[in-house]
């Protein structure tokens, strides 16, 4: 699965460049997340702005990705489209993740 990542200040922003995290994509998503988060900042933000469909397999893969980055690191979500936001709300997974409305543009370096 096509993920791109950018270290920004103290964050690692991981962008999903695909429209679906579904049963057909779940394993590739988990593997790709493991690769891109292997190193880098402890605070990871997953940008789902291009994703318009997540099923329960995709939801499980996002939970798995959150667990596999390790107990001392943090995975937040950002830029959820309404259909994806609905899945997180229905399953109450919106209480598990910190969800940002959008990915913050890069600020001036301190």
Partner 1 sequence: MVSPATDLAVRAMLADLRRWLAARADGAPLHSVELGVAEALNNITEHAYAGQAPGPVHLLAVLRPGRLKVRLQDHGAPLPGRVAPSGERPPTDPARDTLPEGGFGWFLIRDLANGVDYRRAGGVNRLMLTFCWPPAGG
Instruction: Give the footprint of partner 1 on this chain (CB under 8 A).
Output: 20, 22-24, 53, 55-57, 59-61, 63-64, 66-67, 71, 83, 86-87, 90-93, 95-96
- The CA distance from 85 to 10, in Å, is 26
27 vs 106, beta carbon nearer partner 1 = 27
86 vs 102, beta carbon nearer partner 1 = 86
**Which residues are bridge partners to 99 per DSSP?**
77
11 vs 20, beta carbon nearer partner 1 = 20
- Give least dist CB 84 to partner 1, A: 10
End-to-end CA distance of the chain: 34
């Amino acid at each position: 699965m096509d993920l791109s990542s950018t270290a920004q200040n103290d964050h690692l922003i991981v962008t999903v460049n695909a429209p679906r995290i579904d049963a057909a994509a779940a394993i590739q998503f988990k593997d790709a997340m493991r690769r891109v988060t292997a190193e880098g900042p402890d605070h990871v933000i997953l940008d789902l702005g291009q994703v318009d469909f997540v099923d329960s397999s995709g939801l499980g893969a996002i939970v798995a990705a959150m667990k596999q980055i390790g107990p001392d690191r943090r995975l937040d979500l950002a830029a959820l489209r309404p259909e994806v936001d609905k899945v997180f709300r229905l399953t109450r997974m919106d209480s598990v993740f910190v969800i940002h409305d959008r990915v913050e543009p890069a600020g001036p370096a301190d």
